[in-house]
Amino acid sequence: MAKKILIIGGVAGGATAAARLRRLDETADITVLERGPYVSFANCGLPYFLSGDIKKRSQLLLQTPEGFWSRYRVDVKTQTEAVEIRPTEKVVKARGPEGDVEYSYDALILTQGSNPIVPPLPGVNQEQVFKLWTIPDMDRIQKFLTEKAPATAVIAGGGFIGLEMAEAFHHRGIKTTVVELAPQIMATMDKEFAAAVQKQLEADGVAVKTGVGLASIGPKTVQLSDGSELAADLVLLSVGVRSELTLAKAAGLALGAAGGLQVDEFLRTSDPNIWAAGDMIETVNLISGKKARIPLAGPANRQGRLAATNIASTYLPGVAARRYRGAFGSSVVKIFDTTAASTGLTEKAAREAGLSVGTSTVHKGHHAGYYPGAEILSLKLVWEKPSGRLLGAQAFGKQGVEKRIDALAVALLGKLTVQDLAEADFAYAPPYSSANDPINMAAFSAQNALEGVCALTAPDQLLARPLTKDEILLDVRTLGEHAKGHAAGALHIPLDELRDNLAQVPAKKVHVYCKDGFQGYLAVRILKQNGIDADNIAGGWTSMVRCGWEETK
Ligand code: FAD
DSSP string, 54-66: S--GGGGB---HH
Q: Which long-range contacts (CB under 8 A, 24 or more apart) does 226-229 make?
A: none
Give me the pLDDT at residue 102, please: 98
Report, as an integer, the average pLDDT of 98-127: 97
Summarize pLDDT for 217-256 with one digit per residue, the tens. Answer: 999 999 999 999 999 999 999 999 999 999 999 999 999 9
Instruction: Kindly give, in sequence order, each residue whose CB lies less than 8 Å from that of residue 349, ignoring residues fewer than 6 positions away.
Output: 288, 392
Ligand 1 atom at minimal distance to the Cα of residue 296: 45
Give the burial class of 442: count Cβ atoms within 10 A of its Cβ; 0-12 exposed, 13-18 middle, 19 or more buried.
buried
Ligand 1 atom at minimal distance to the Cα of residue 165: 34
CA 406 → CA 201, 393, 394, 431, distances in Å? Answer: 24, 10, 11, 19
Of the pLDDT bands very low, low, confident and very high (cuts 50, 70, 90), residue 390 is very high
Q: Is the pLDDT of residue 78 over 90?
A: yes
Summarize pLDDT for 53-69 with one digit per residue, the tens. Answer: 999 999 999 889 999 99
Q: Which long-range contacts (CB under 8 A, 24 or more apart) does 81-87 make?
A: 81/33, 81/35, 82/8, 82/33, 82/35, 82/247, 83/247, 84/247, 84/250, 84/251, 85/8, 85/247, 85/248, 85/250, 85/251, 85/274, 86/251, 87/251, 87/252, 87/253, 87/271, 87/273, 87/274
Ligand 1 atom at minimal distance to the Cα of residue 333: 28
Report, as an integer, the average pLDDT of 264-279: 98
pTM, two decimal places: 0.95
Ligand 1 atom at minimal distance to the Cα of residue 38: 9
Summarize pLDDT for 193-215 with one digit per residue, the tens. Answer: 999 999 999 999 999 999 999 99
Give me the pLDDT at residue 139, please: 98
Give me the pLDDT at residue 1, please: 86
Summarize pLDDT for 153-179 with one digit per residue, the tens. Answer: 999 999 999 999 999 999 999 999 999
295 CA to middle of ligand 1, Å?
8
Ligand 1: residue whose CA is nearest its atom 41: 296
Q: What is the CA radius of gyration of the chain?
A: 26
Summarize pLDDT for 447-456 with one digit per residue, the tens. Answer: 999 999 999 9
- Ligand 1 site-directed mutation target among 33, 43, 83, most atoms within 8 Å of CB: 43
- Ligand 1 site-directed mutation target among 7, 79, 110, 112, most atoms within 8 Å of CB: 112
220 CA to middle of ligand 1, Å?
31
CB 225 within 8 A of CB 213: yes
CB 194 within 8 A of CB 178: no
Query: Pocket residues for ligand 1 (CB within 6 Å)?
Result: 8-9, 11-14, 33-36, 43-44, 46-47, 81-82, 111-113, 132-133, 161, 244, 247, 278-280, 295-298, 300
Ligand 1 atom at minimal distance to the Cα of residue 36: 11
11 CA to middle of ligand 1, Å?
6
Instruction: Kindly give, in sequence order, each residue whose CB lies less than 8 Å from that of residue 514, ignoring residues fewer than 6 positions away.
Output: 475, 476, 477, 495, 520, 523, 540, 541
Q: Is the pLDDT of residue 509 over 90?
A: yes
Summarize pLDDT for 456-506 with one digit per residue, the tens. Answer: 999 999 999 999 999 999 999 999 999 999 999 999 999 999 999 999 999
Give me the pLDDT at residue 309, please: 98
373 CA to middle of ligand 1, Å?
38
Decide which of 551 and 297 is more confident.
297
Give the burial class of 473: count Cβ atoms within 10 A of its Cβ; 0-12 exposed, 13-18 middle, 19 or more buried.
buried
Report, as an integer, the average pLDDT of 360-367: 96
Percentage of residues in the chain having pLDDT higher than 90: 98
Which of 482, 550, 473 has the alpha carbon at shortest distance from 511?
473
211 CA to middle of ligand 1, Å?
28
Ligand 1 atom at minimal distance to the Cα of residue 94: 19
Report, as an integer, the average pLDDT of 48-56: 97
Q: Is the pLDDT of residue 553 over 90?
A: no
Give me the pLDDT at residue 19, please: 97
Q: Is the dihedral of CA 165, 167, 169, 174 positive or negative?
A: positive
Mean of pLDDT over the chain: 97
